[in-house]
Structure 1
Amino acid sequence: YGGTYNLFSVTLPRLGITTTFVDPSDPSNFGKAVRENTRAIFVESLGNPKLDVLDLKAIAAEAKAAKVPFIVDNTVPSPALLNPIAHGANIVIHSLTKYINGNGTALGGAIIDAGTFDWANGKFPEFTEPSAGYHGLVYHEALGAAAFIAKARIEGLRDYGGALSPFNAFQIIQGLETLPIRMKKHSENALALAQWLQGRNEVAWVNYPGLTSSKYNALAQTYLPKGQSGIVTFGVKGGFESVKKIADGTKLFSLLANIGDTKSLIIHPASTTHQQLDDAAQESTGVTKDLIRLSVGLEDIEDLKADLVSAFATIDKSVFA
């Protein structure tokens, strides 16, 4: 995700925290990139918008060998489709703003600690040395498996904020109640739409891990057998000019930068969500100038197809020659 890339490449270095970016398609790349001061391995379980499915078990093994926590952003699959902890993740994070809320009405995030990482392995003295803020409390000794999540709450939440308002919390909990049935429908609609897009003359390529033609399909069947979530990307013939006409031409798909709403959304990542990245960085995250990202909602699939047909009709047909 573009915001995450910017956080790691621009914001965190100001705080003295640097990031080594690797090609996640080969799990051994993580182990090769580990340095003496490496303190975590971080991945997105399903990349946004690259939609690359990662071999979580293999990457977890690399993190274990390096004695650092394996952190997984599981926003796109959501807990309804994937539990990274079952595949070796130590910490899982979610943007609650997306599928868990489901309506694009509240901002929030969540941290889930599996309680499986050894914070007393010598790399994390803040867990094994007395805390001046709590009268000499040693987190690992006093809290054991809950050391990390307790520290995140009583120091991170208290000192840095990030607390949900009561109403936002209410909205997110309401969304959580219907998450499994929504994710099933999101996945069904996304797969059906991706298959349909493959047959359209206006479309140059389609990317969805549920397609048998996807290079991520085998991993998707392993890690996401219940569904591959609701994000579909595709390229249109005619490049950016066609992209603009399609994005402006939809009526059911809303031109919005969010994902995970019950309503369908359309966006051009290269000029919006990933515009702060240079061309090389965009390419590394799977963003091309002709790419359109769809967050497929819960509407009737025939209505979604009809909306795209209307938008496709606005394209200059000479680009298909």
Structure 2
Amino acid sequence: MTNTLGFDTLQIHAGARPDPATGARQIPIYQTTSYVFRDADHAAALFNLQEVGYIYSRLTNPTVSALAERVAALEGGVGAVCCSSGHAAQIMALFPLMAPGCNIVASGRLYGGTVTQFSQTFKRFGWSTHFVDTDDLAAVEAAIDADTRAIFVETIANPGGYVTDIPAMAEIANRHGIPLIVDNTTATPYLCRPIELGATLVVHSMTKYMTGNGTVMGGVVVDSGNFDWSQNDKFPSLSQPEPAYHGLKFHETFGALAFTFHGIAIGLRDLGMTLNAQAAHYTLMGIETLSLRMERHIANAEKVAKWLEADPRVEAVTYAGLDSSPYKERAGKIVPKGAGALFTVTLKGGYDACVKLVDSLELFSHVANLGDTRSLIIHPASTTHRQLTAEQLEAANAAPNVVRLSIGTEEAADIIADLDQGLAKATA
């Protein structure tokens, strides 16, 4: 479906066609492991990447393919690879780029689970990560060396709400001939389309806002199709002969879709981090209302953040939509429709007040998730970010006296009333 259609139209129609067998209007859940080949030649052509089609649901599935097409359309990419979770998407994004001894340069303000994955788990692959303050462009530049294969940032940092200067990151990445990877989970393509700002790849945890109802896990990597994988010798998986396909060169053969084809033919084939058809179906249904939900999330977040900032029991609020935020001006350029609905709150009562607030709220759900229609709260330092050092917690704005809020789509007055009674108990 053409990307000239408006966002609200694409989120409903992209990737969706009446089922050719039954005429079903909603995309069916193709609950099958495998697909019957027309004949031996057809099977051979599929396995040799000479024809596009369905082989085995670890690789491709019609329901999952429809979701990939929809997300790619919303992000303005040429293709996408869906996988089992946001963390899986991060590995899938880096897998074609990396080799033992290689490194990435990443924001020091990433989600705590991502920091742990990048700093600890990646060591087992022989990969390493240079964490930097991405507001310091000179530090980003200085961290890149001959073995750097990508820059990785979040559009709106989880949990601190920092907004990344994506065009500036893209300029640095282009200068060094490496891709810029942007985690767009907290912004969604409704608020920001990083590819238009210079990103090479976009990743999402679709578990969050894209699905929006806290029912299924999912991740996706969107390929801009704009990167020249053959411009240098840094990406042999994409530019050099692939032994598993009799010397096929992905970039030479598939051009702008080289990364997408590699993600399916190599990444999903060998890593097996596959998204199941039912999860894809739930996510497709969630995306149909993405813009409507995000509008309400943002409207509520702005009201709640302003109320909290004025409350004497609160020390600070990190919402980039506030006039007091140092990211207010940047947010107007990167996420002009609004600064999302995730931010942190620092309480004057310290750690004890944070714990009491979490335990005292009634409308908020205390869960390790974000982007649900329900308002959510968690204490990052003792949960999602507990593996981080004190310095890393401070950089992420997840110190012991901080709670993270994900503002839902309930009535704003009810959200505020719940916070009010919870703060009263927490500071009694």
TM-score w.r.t. the length of structure 1 is 0.97
**How many residues get paired?**
317
> SS state of the match for residue 201, structure 1?
coil
* Counterpart in the other structure of 2:271: 160
CA distance in 2: counterparts of 1:155 and 1:89, whole angstroms: 23
Deviations 1:300-320 (A, max 9, x none): 001001111111121244xxx
CA distance in 2: counterparts of 1:157 and 1:196, whole angstroms: 46
Deviates more, 1:259-268 or 1:122-131: 122-131
| Unaligned 5+ runs, structure 2 | 1-110
Match of 1:4 among 84, 109, 114: 114
* Counterpart in the other structure of 2:170: 60
Using the aligned pairs only, state the percent identity. Answer: 44
1:27 aligns with 2:137: yes
Match of 1:127 among 224, 229, 238: 238
2:122/2:128 contact within 8 Å kept: yes
> SS state of the match for residue 120, structure 2?
helix
Match of 1:173 among 264, 271, 284: 284
Q: Which amino acid aligns with 1:76?
A: T
1:254/1:265 contact within 8 Å kept: yes
> SS state of the match for residue 42, structure 1?
strand
> SS state of the match for residue 258, structure 1?
coil
- Give the deviation of 1:156 after TM superposition: 0.5
Q: Which amino acid aligns with 1:163?
A: T
- Give the deviation of 1:129 after TM superposition: 1.8
- Give the deviation of 1:218 after TM superposition: 0.5
CA distance in 1: counterparts of 2:391 and 2:402, whole angstroms: 15
1:253/1:265 contact within 8 Å kept: yes
Deviates more, 1:159-168 or 1:97-106: 159-168
* Counterpart in the other structure of 2:328: 217
Match of 1:228 among 339, 347, 352: 339
CA distance in 2: counterparts of 1:135 and 1:42, whole angstroms: 32
* Counterpart in the other structure of 1:49: 159
1:17 aligns with 2:127: yes
- Give the deviation of 1:283 after TM superposition: 1.3
Mapping 1:88-103, distance limit 5 Å = 88-103=198-213
- Give the deviation of 1:232 after TM superposition: 2.5
CA distance in 2: counterparts of 1:43 and 1:310, whole angstroms: 36
- Give the deviation of 1:140 after TM superposition: 1.2
> SS state of the match for residue 310, structure 2?
coil
2:313/2:427 contact within 8 Å kept: no
CA distance in 2: counterparts of 1:7 and 1:310, whole angstroms: 37
* Counterpart in the other structure of 2:148: 38
* Counterpart in the other structure of 1:79: 189
Match of 1:202 among 308, 313, 316: 313
Deviates more, 1:229-238 or 1:83-92: 229-238
* Counterpart in the other structure of 2:386: 275
1:27/1:55 contact within 8 Å kept: no
> SS state of the match for residue 298, structure 2?
helix
- Give the deviation of 1:128 after TM superposition: 2.2
Deviations 1:24-64 (A, max 9, x none): 11233222111001100111111001111111111100000
CA distance in 1: counterparts of 2:271 and 2:150, whole angstroms: 21
Mapping 1:221-300, distance limit 5 Å = 221-300=332-411
- Give the deviation of 1:75 after TM superposition: 0.4
2:183/2:203 contact within 8 Å kept: yes
> SS state of the match for residue 308, structure 1?
helix
Deviations 1:157-208 (A, max 9, x none): 1111111111111110011100011111101100110001112121111110
2:202/2:221 contact within 8 Å kept: yes
> SS state of the match for residue 234, structure 1?
strand
Deviations 1:196-230 (A, max 9, x none): 11121211111100001000000001111111111
Deviates more, 1:117-126 or 1:245-254: 117-126
Question: Alpha carbons of 1:127 and 1:316: their partners in 2 closer, same or farther (altered >3 Å)?
Answer: closer
Q: Which amino acid aligns with 2:122?
A: L
| Unaligned 5+ runs, structure 1 | none
